[in-house]
Amino acid sequence: MGGERLGAALTGGAAGLAALLDLVLPGRCALCTAPAAPLCARCRDEVADACFPGGARPVQPVPFPRGMPPCVALGGYAGPLGRLLSAYKDDGRRDLAPLLSALLALSVTRALGPLPGGAPVPGGAPVLLVPVPSSRAARRRRGDAPMLALARGAARACGPSDDDHAPAPAPIAGERVRVLDALRLRRRVADQAGLGAAARAANLEWAMATRATCRAAVVGAHIVVVDDVLTTGATLVECRRALTRSGAASVTAATIAATARHTPAGR
């Protein structure tokens, strides 16, 4: 504990208070509570091991829902990836955002290439990242929109980087990827957790619409819908329906994790 830091903490107002708390309560690993935030080295290795060999790859839920866009995931939801997402979204570990954004960017980059059931995005064409919309109840409970934050981080990670050591995928040239919070829920929907595949599909059917302010940008756009986890695919079916109806040229999807009920796509 440096005396200088402590001195700054005691005289630095709000920022100083945060620094003081940092000295008293050092950041903890989000997975194992070792004194290393946001993740200790051992848990970082576990997260890397939980990703699919070879990295992000196309996945399909079983059963495959009609109308689902081609989707890429980075690893299975069971284990460290699922615990990371839960810590980020539900336990307030927003310090995981840069790491999760970098992971999502790996899926997004793969989703721009050729996918079973979908043509690659034409080289150089602009791409919109559209986060899955969260319900008003979820926004109220969490106080923010965690997927929107991850989408913004992923778009930054896909852009040119001046840091050779940044945990980002190969840069996609120029300002090619930007985020548009284009979708909204137009009616109340039940929490998808605990619903089976058929109930999820019924719960979300015609539940989404393109925001009026985003309609012009969606027409003719190549869109990658981003979400934290692929479960039955019902959410992505509805996202694609709403965006295609609004004139999107193509819709694919990128998630960080996929639940166990999926197979590698294209087999």
Given the rule CB under 5 A, which residues bind Zn ion? 29, 31-32, 34, 40, 43
154 SS3 class: helix
**Is the CB of 34 or the CB of 190 nearer to Zn ion?**
34
**Is the CB of 82 or the CB of 131 nearer to Zn ion?**
82
Task: Supply 133's token pair.
Answer: 């919309």
**Is the CB of 76 or the CB of 80 nearer to Zn ion?**
80
**Is the CB of 40 or the CB of 265 nearer to Zn ion?**
40
Phi first, then psi: give them for residue 25, nearest 5 degrees.
Answer: -120, 85
User: For residue 133, is the peptide bond before it cis, meaning its omega torsion is within 30 degrees of 0?
Assistant: no
The b/e string for 39-69 (b: 16+ C-beta within 10 A; e otherwise) is: bbeebbebbeebbeeeebbbbbbeeebeebb
Phi first, then psi: give them for residue 138, nearest 5 degrees.
Answer: -65, -40
In the complex, what is the shortest distance from the CB of residue 42 to Zn ion, in angstroms, rounded to a whole number? 6
**Is the CB of 31 or the CB of 226 nearer to Zn ion?**
31
